[in-house]
Amino acid sequence: MKPSRRAFCATALSSVLLAARPADKPRRAAKQQPANKPSAGKLIARTFNSGFALAHDTYNGMGTGSDGRIYYVLSSESHEVGAKMYVYDPATDKISYCGDLTEACGEKDLKTIVQGKSHVNFVEADGKLYFATHVGYYSIIDGMEKIGIPPAGFKSYPGGHFLAYDMKSGKYEDLGLAPNGEGILSMTMDTRRGRLFGLTWPTGLFIYTDLDSGKKVKNLGPTSRLGENGKGDEYRTICRSLVVDPRDGACYFTIGDGDILRYRREKDAVEKVEGDDLRKDYFGLYDPTSPGHMGYNWRQTFWHPTENVVYGVHGNSGYLFRFDPRAVRVEVLERITSLPSKRSGMFDQFSYGYLGFALGPDHATIHYLTGGPVYIDGKRVTGKAKTAMGESKGMENLHLVTYHIPTETYRDHGPIFYENGDRPAYVNSIAIGKDGSVYTLARITEGGKTRTDLLCLKGPFFS
């Protein structure tokens, strides 16, 4: 399939265009809630039941379409039951089933380990959603997650696929398979030029495919030593967020050492960006050879189309920053963790940080779903001191934080609970509805059984 001659009309579904701000207009002083006041009262989330009892933790895997509907993928840990895609329509208040990702990849009857996840945000272009699949079935070896060893009667995981989903017809299109049986952990798209980029797991190969390539996937090789498949000095946590500069088609990402890497289309190669990096004192001190954290990687990013910069968040420290690829400058802006986290002075419980970072339809407000410490009898509840995996070290609250870019206004809207008083857990996704409501995917326990499913905070939450 060839890309349209005209530029693709596209949006990364986890974000929307920001309002323009003249480059020479001075920024206002940052506005924060006074330190002597508690965060806003608690928020109550509405929960949904999509009908998938096996649904497990989802990372990214959702977005808002131009049709106003909320698309999302529910993951699976099973070796034989794959991830499933759904869509919620706020106008009708109904959920519809879109399909099984293993079937979408043409692997329904192959008896291979199934496509258990989509670990990436949707990107929309010309009425289609572009995304990728990932493995969800693991074996724990030396305390680390590895691609699952096939049970008797099953074959190895075949690798992740680049996919397209037509929002009108409901049909899927397979756009190519990742090499070496690896999943696709991170993905973005140069919608103007019709090219999809990805990083694989566990090795961290940089790959891409074009819409007119006939499913041919090009592999430019490893980017982070041996990635999460390495040991000792060969271990590096793989970046979870790729971002494209639409002006020249360059694709940016990071490595655990803090270097910013760039794919250059004219060279068809990945190179290190010289001039600045993410090794910032404010972010903390990390050993990139040690698992259980993201190191100096950015956690989540988006492209600002009028300022022509990248906005991102560093996972463990929760610092918001802006990266200008032409000036090659990283500017640290604000710590956007919850107010209780700021006061505790400690990192949050989720060891990799949080992926729920997106822009609202006001074109100016960043929405961030982040952790907050839980206090019982006045004492902060602590968890594991260390972990070798990306997991929550202990119990935490979920907070919604917003940051208004034009006025640099930070606000913690408070902790989030379900109507029954339970806390949402393992939240690493976000979609902002056209009315400003916030959607995410979290663990929900009903009738003694726990699943991951859709929940909604009625908005808007503009600063």
Which tokens sit at 299? 């956690």
pLDDT score, position 305: 84
CATH of the domain spanning 10-457: 2.120.10.80
Mean pLDDT of the chain: 91
Contact 160, 132 (CB under 8 A): yes
Contact 320, 299 (CB under 8 A): no
Residue 383's pLDDT band (cuts 50, 70, 90): confident
pLDDT exceeds cutoff 90 at 8 = no
Higher pLDDT, 145 or 369: 369
- 167: Cβ contacts below 8 Å, ≥ 6 apart: 65, 67, 69, 124, 127, 128, 129
CB 172 within 8 A of CB 104: yes
Query: Is the pLDDT at 303 greater than 90, yes or no?
Result: yes
Least Cα distance to 304 among 277, 331, 272 occurs for 331
Give the 3-state secondary structure of residue 344: helix
% the chain with pLDDT above 90? 85
Q: What is the pLDDT of residue 463?
A: 64
Confidence of residue 245 (pLDDT cuts 50, 70, 90): very high
CB 313 within 8 A of CB 336: yes
Distance CA 132, CA 162 (A): 4
Tens of pLDDT, residue by residue over 346-362, are 999 999 999 999 988 88
What length is written for the chain?
A: 463
DSSP character at residue 55: -
Mean pLDDT of 195-222: 98
240-279 in b/e form (b: 16+ CB < 10 A) is: bbbbbbbeebbbbbbbbbbbbbbbeeeeeebeebeebbbe
In the chain, what is the straight-line distance between the N-terminal and C-terminal CA atoms, in Å? 42
